[in-house]
Structure 1
């Protein structure tokens, strides 16, 4: 007589891999969202959920209830990355908004009417008042002082160039901008113009291999930027009026220079 002996098999347990898959999916979406600063809030929410699901999924793997360890780990890591990107995006967004508000405030302040009596006289372009008052009639070597800048123009000296209209002479001036504030100054915003003689004829700027490049780059606090400009004026002109506009937040100052 023979007997067939069968060994009972352990019941099959279905793997519960859903949390790991969900963590990976949300982690990917959260990380991609985090690359766009304005979506920092979405990246933060999805990243947090992905991190939690990934950690819970890894717990299931350890207990033998799931077998997608790689997926859950990747989901948790991406969730953490999304959280970090959300913080960076929030900082970038709030900083941009703050800068925009400051710019709007400056524009409003610039458009507001100014009290003519608030000026501080010759050589001072509204120091302590963000440089909003125009200093007129400065002489060669005088300094126009703003809240964060100091601007000076040298005397006018004859300049030799072949690029002159008939009957004109050329004169060069040295302009110095000193950053006396605490922040960086964008020197590319500075512009110059000039007029010659008592009739205020426009003095065209001279451009050659020596002059005409203008201000460039950034001026750090406590540093200076020096540029030589040249203008052509009628031979009979006795004065050259040079106007310097340091930037959008600073009104122009004028220097009356003797020539001829």
Structure 2
């Protein structure tokens, strides 16, 4: 009698599942390198989060004996955490830089924008709304950079024989214009000269020139805390009741023009 002896089969080896650890390492490396460039903080954050999750899951497999790449998995999780930290730092740097750039652009635009006059004197309040209406005699156009311009009430005078710009039968009027610099920078007055209109039709009032004490235009600079005063004359019809004087500081390149309605006649 013969007996067949059957030996028990050895259990099949368990296949190691090392994919998560490897993926965590690769993503952690890419995420960390991305985090070194602040502008790529968003990419570092995404890859770092994924790498950290995969690394933690992969570590669990190692503990259960389903994977044997503990070093790779732990390294991937650590790099994922590092990428997240770099992502936060990069975001702070990027947003701070953008904020500073926006502030600098706003400052540049404000500095380059023409200054807008308000009104001071005789109950007027300083503000941009005042720029939309004419000022009265002895009122001041106050600009937001500290420049102030005042036009006096007109005074009649008789032009001399050598004066030009006066028409027989018309009346001539003198006005005094004062520029005061209350700002922090010198103001170049080059090109600053008044123009005027008179009469019902608002016809141009010609400037009277060549008489003693009359000026043609401002020249030179007005330093902070200083003033410059000039006297100008205009020719108006005899029946005119209003002389409108307009002044555009420095030809209006940096400042809006202001107007004064001066009663005459």
Which of 167, 170, 192 is equivalent to 1:168? 170
Displacement of 1:106 in angstroms is 6.4
TM-score, length basis structure 1: 0.51
Structure 1 residues 143 and 182: alpha-carbon distance in aligned structure 2, compared to 1, 3 A threshold:
same
> Equivalents in 2 of 1:171, 1:254: separation in Å?
17
Which of 234, 258, 264 is equivalent to 1:259? 264
> Equivalents in 2 of 1:125, 1:246: separation in Å?
18
TM-score, length basis structure 2: 0.50
> Equivalents in 1 of 2:195, 2:126: separation in Å?
18
Equivalent in the alignment of 1:241: 244
> Equivalents in 1 of 2:149, 2:195: separation in Å?
15
Equivalent in the alignment of 1:134: 131
Displacement of 1:221 in angstroms is 0.3
Residues 206 and 212 of structure 1 are in contact (CA less than 8 Å); yes or no, is this contact kept in structure 2?
Answer: no
> Equivalents in 1 of 2:119, 2:174: separation in Å?
29
> Equivalents in 2 of 1:140, 1:249: separation in Å?
24
> Equivalents in 2 of 1:212, 1:198: separation in Å?
27
Displacement of 1:137 in angstroms is 1.9
Gaps of 5+ in 1: 1-100
> Equivalents in 2 of 1:154, 1:240: separation in Å?
12
Deviations 1:103-156 (A, max 9, x none): x8469635xxx9xxx9779856746xxxx9735221111111112211100000
Equivalent in the alignment of 1:206: 208
Displacement of 1:179 in angstroms is 0.2
Gaps of 5+ in 2: 1-104
SS at match of 2:190: helix
Residues 124 and 145 of structure 1 are in contact (CA less than 8 Å); yes or no, is this contact kept in structure 2?
Answer: no
Residues 1:229 and 2:229 aligned together: no
> Equivalents in 2 of 1:251, 1:176: separation in Å?
17
Residues 1:157 and 2:159 aligned together: no
Equivalent in the alignment of 1:183: 185
Deviations 1:202-259 (A, max 9, x none): 1000111421332111101010000000000000101100111112211111111111
Deviations 1:187-208 (A, max 9, x none): 1231211000222111000111
Residue pairs, 1:76-155, within 5 angstroms? 105=109, 109-110=113-114, 123=124, 126=127, 134-147=131-144, 148-155=146-153
Residues 113 and 254 of structure 2 are in contact (CA less than 8 Å); yes or no, is this contact kept in structure 1?
Answer: no
Which of structures 1 and 2 has the bigger CA Rg?
2
| RMSD between superposed Cα atoms in Å | 3.2
Residues 123 and 144 of structure 1 are in contact (CA less than 8 Å); yes or no, is this contact kept in structure 2?
Answer: no
